[in-house]
Amino acid sequence: MGLVIYDLIRWVLMKIMQDKRVYIVWLAIFAVWSIYRAFFRFPEAVDELIVKPLIFVAPVLYFVLLVEKSTLESIGLTTRNLFREIYLGLGIGVFFALEGLLVNLVKYGTFSFLPIQAVASVGLMPFLLFTLFTSVSEEILGRGFVYSRIAASEKNQFKAIIIASFLFLLLHIPILFAQLNLTGGSLVVYLVSIFILGVTNSYMFSLRKSLVIPILIHIFWNATVALYL
């Protein structure tokens, strides 16, 4: 596992050497997020509602609006065809709900609902609010900014999707060391599901040019992983 992570990070550094600003912005965000996860322990409300938007979203907005002189629509923040996007996102999100059941089955050997009791102790509304904020923050960075800029630079959709999905996967590595205690099959399923989520949402963003569907799919994924992991 450590060798795989090392190889991925080395590959990212090679990309940065090609003088592509999107990788530099991503690396800065990744470094700050890793340091935060390693040395700070705050309540989940602080992590998801304050820290993650500051680390993931604020630099992206600064870069897009003030450096690129671009628009919010260029990172998928648009209300175009909003209700149609919502319906499609909810439909596709069901797939990731089923994936959550698979993760549950792999980890416990049977369907266990102990994680649901843990969520209930936090409260359903706070849980949904944290999930929404997490999904919005990660999709603005992962799809709206990183994927869209790599796709424009590489001129190859498949290559851009793979690169952006690996970067998205790397962003979830710090939590494995700081918070989650996953081993064996559940660790493999977790990592593979993150990559599948990245590929799916990158492809949907390519089709729709909006973050609505990726955010809704991400909400389903976060919710099911939290419930069944």
- Report pLDDT for 228: 57
- Report pLDDT for 122: 63
Closest CA to 204 of 218, 215, 214, 219: 214
In tens, the pLDDT along 10-22 reads 666 665 555 578 8
What's the mean pLDDT in 203-218?
93
The answer to whether 101 and 228 have CB atoms below 8 angstroms apart is yes
Task: List the single range of 61-65, 82-86, 224-228 with lowest mean pLDDT.
Answer: 224-228
Confidence of residue 98 (pLDDT cuts 50, 70, 90): confident
Buried b (16+ CB within 10 A) or exposed e, 44-72: eeebbbebbbebbbebbeebbeeeeeeee
Q: Which DSSP symbol is given to 72?
A: G
In tens, the pLDDT along 201-210 reads 999 999 999 9
The answer to whether 175 and 108 have CB atoms below 8 angstroms apart is no
- Report pLDDT for 106: 66
Between CA 96 and CA 2 the distance in angstroms is: 27
- Report pLDDT for 137: 97
* Cα angle: 209, vertex 16, 59; to 5 degrees: 55
**Residues sharing a CB contact under 8 Å with residue 172, sequence separation 6 or more, in sequence order:** 191, 194
Q: Between these two residues, 154 and 48, which has the higher pLDDT value?
A: 48
- Report pLDDT for 192: 85
- Report pLDDT for 33: 95
The answer to whether 219 and 211 have CB atoms below 8 angstroms apart is no
Confidence of residue 2 (pLDDT cuts 50, 70, 90): low
Between CA 158 and CA 199 the distance in angstroms is: 9
Residue type, 14: M
Closest CA to 219 of 116, 138, 135, 140: 135
Token pair recorded at residue 90: 């909810």
What's the mean pLDDT in 32-55?
92
Closest CA to 171 of 219, 137, 204, 131: 137
Residue 220 has pLDDT above 90, yes or no: no
